[in-house]
Amino acid sequence: MEDRRGWRGWRAATEAALYGPDGFYLRPEGPAGHFRTSVHASPLFASAVARLLERVAEELGTDEVTLVDMGAGRGELVTGVLDAAPAGLRVRAYAVERAPRPAGQDPRVVWTGRPPAGVRGLLFANEWLDNVPVDVAEADESGTARYVEVAPDGTERLGAPVTGADARWLARWWPLREPGERGEIGRPRDEAWARAVGTLSAGLAVAVDYAHLAGARPPFGTLTGFRAGREVPPVPDGTCDITAHVALDACARSGAAAAGAGTGTGGPVPGPGGVGGGAAGGGTGAGCSPADGPAGAELVAQREALRRLGVSGQRPPLSLASRDAAGYLRALAAAGEAAELTARGGLGDFTWLLQRVPTGGYCPA
């Protein structure tokens, strides 16, 4: 809700700034004009996703599979995966994006504003959930969690107390214990992820984002802005990206219910290492199992997920240079790109949520 001076909650302000008329994500240059994702860093990322798609098809026992690219931007990932997919794999590809279809987009890609329902295959959401708008809460001097309101110039003030479903989400996933502590209320992301997972009849849903887990939430939140490759204060005027890290453990719980795995009886995850790939340590990734998280779900650091998919930053042996100088240079360049994708303190710190959807998991809305 907005008053006459323009004050409103961060969720409404972000929605308008990113997706309203002349919103940031509808600008002609697209996200790639402002920041670098794993997709833009190297074609090795799309090749890794293509290998994951192939493994999902093997798990499903088919050579015909669907790829759904959530938050597709300008279609860079989905077209890269199609180009890297093995010749014998028949792929039906969807790009889910609120921006219009770009001119010259690959005709193999179906461009749509919402994911198709009842498909079998891989739903992949690379840096999508962090741009699902959320409200921000802050504990006041008495410790009461209140919504943070923002003006069009980015000035903030505390608003009404957080109540209802938002209050329950904070209590469960991000309790604010001390005055001044802040948190992003991730309930809309949980719901968005559950809806996305619920469109699969069988296969794997993957969300990739900067993330944090219960017990290690940042005390003052993560809301920030990006413009032209630089981090800037978040101002909801459409000139910058507005983003916040994702409580992927909360998303995993909601996704498990949507996948029919919420009872703790789900099977192994057909993850990057094949069926039942183990959990990884390091970064923000942490293993999920029926004992410590929702069944059929796993949280793993990007560096480990990509390692399982054959992406390695290991330099080629020098002996290759004497036998095949051009091959050595190609391998060296690939190793450098892989190192960027898996680097600590960089892209390697992203977390992958891998959520299995067993056969029969689709539940029409």
List, for residues 196-237, the tens digit of each pLDDT value. 999 999 999 999 999 999 999 999 999 999 988 889 999 999
Contacts of 292 by beta carbon, 8 Å cutoff, 6+ apart: none
Three-class SS of the chain: CCCCCCCEEHHHHHHHHHHCCCCHHHCCCCHHHCCCCHHHHCHHHHHHHHHHHHHHHHHHCCCEEEEEEECCCCCHHHHHHHHHCCCCCEEEEEEECCCCCCCCCCCCEEEECCCCCCEEEEEEEECCHHHCCCEEEEECCCCCEEEEEECCCCCEEEEEECCHHHHHHHHHHCCCCCCCCEEEECHHHHHHHHHHHCCEEEEEEEEEECECCCCCCCCECCCEEEECCEEECCCCCCCCEEECCECHHHHHHHHHHHCCCCCCCCCCCEECCEECCCCCCCCCCCCCCCCCCCCCEEEEEHHHHHHHCCCCCCCCCCHHHHHCHHHHHHHHHHHHHHHHHHCCCCHHHCEEEEEEECCCCCCCC
Q: How far is CA 174 from CA 2, 92, 285, in A?
A: 26, 39, 18
Tell me, what's the pLDDT at 229?
82
pLDDT for the residue 266? 34
The list of the chain residues with pLDDT below 70 reads 1-5, 29-36, 261-293, 295, 313-314, 316-318, 320-322, 324, 327-328, 330-334, 336, 360-365
For residue 283, the model assigns a pLDDT of 35
Contacts of 55 (CB under 8 A, 6+ apart): 270, 272, 274
- Which phi and psi (to 5°) does residue 264 adopt? 85, 15
* CA-based nearest residue to 246, from 276, 272, 221: 221
pTM: 0.86
Q: What is the 3-state secondary structure (H, E, C) of 211-256?
A: ECCCCCCCCECCCEEEECCEEECCCCCCCCEEECCECHHHHHHHHH
List pLDDT tens digits, range 164-194.
999 999 999 999 999 999 999 999 999 999 9
